[in-house]
Amino acid sequence: MPFSELFDNEFKQRNRGHFSAIVRVAFADGKINQQEQEFLDKIASTLQISDEEYKEILSDPWKHPINPPYLYTQRLERLYDLARMVHVDHHLGDLQEVMLRRMGLALGFTPGNVDFIVSKALSLVDKKVELDTFLFEMENMNK
């Protein structure tokens, strides 16, 4: 196996795990509504999830490893990606903060600070900041 395929394969596994985690969050209330379905379709496309993988993950999202981020910076990077996806065209309308809050909890942010973190993340994404600025602002928001 060529060296470059190792990175490609790891990237695809991470995306599948990331998508699986998002599907689990969407299933948290026992069903996926139309808005969540449209959001999942959009995320699957962004994460380059094939139609076959999409169907497989939707049929049993608990079958796939999530590869949860354990470093704070990695959690912030995923939050940045999710906030951008949620915010790009206000696809979820009023539910964007609710959905992002649920995803923030799934990423490992605590219930005590997730509202503040999501609010700050959405305000930064609204300003169209780059990842480096987002990370700096999020890591230093209490200083």
**Of 127 and 84, the one with more pLDDT:** 127
Question: Which pLDDT does position 89 carry in this prediction?
Answer: 53
Judge if 122 and 76 occupy the same domain: yes
How much is the mean pLDDT over the chain? 80
Same domain, 93 and 131: yes
pLDDT digits (tens, 9 = 90+) for 24-67: 777 766 778 787 788 888 888 888 899 999 999 988 888 876 66
The rounded distance, in Å, linking the Cα atoms of 140 and 61 is 35
Please report which confidence band the pLDDT of residue 88 belongs to, taking 50, 70 and 90 as the band edges. Answer: low
Q: Are 96 and 87 spatial neighbours (Cβ–Cβ below 8 Å)?
A: yes
Burial class of residue 32 (count of CB atoms within 10 Å of its CB; 0-12, 13-18, 19+): middle
- The domain boundary residue, chosen from 21, 37, 59: 59
Structural domain includes residue 64: no
Domain presence at residue 66: no
Shared domain for 102 and 128, answered yes or no, is: yes
Evaluate the CA torsion angle 129, 80, 28, 70 in order and state its sign.
negative
Alpha carbon distance 30, 81 (integer Å)? 25
Question: Does 87 lie in the same domain as 54?
Answer: no
User: Is 25 within the bounds of a domain?
Assistant: yes
Label residue 142 by pLDDT band (50, 70, 90): confident
Q: Indicate whether 94 and 48 sit together in one domain.
A: no
Q: Is residue 67 part of a domain?
A: no
Terminal Cα distance for the chain, rounded: 47
**Residue 115 confidence (pLDDT):** 92
- By residue range, what is the domain housing residue 98? 72-140
DSSP string, 39-99: HHHHHHHHTT--HHHHHHHHH-GGGS------SHHHHHHHHHHHHHHHHTTTTTGGGHHHH
Residues 109-122, mean pLDDT to the nearest whole number = 92
| pLDDT > 70 in the chain, percent | 83
- pLDDT at residue 5, as a whole number: 47
Confidence class of residue 91 from pLDDT cuts 50, 70 and 90? low
Of 128, 129, 86, the residue nearest 104 (C-alpha): 86
Of 59, 83, 105, the residue that ends a domain is 59
pTM over 0.85: no
Q: How many domains does the chain have?
A: 2
Residue 132 pLDDT > 90, yes or no? yes
The answer on 54 and 9 residing in a single domain is yes
Is residue 55 domain-shared with residue 77, that is, in the same domain? no
73-82 average pLDDT score: 87
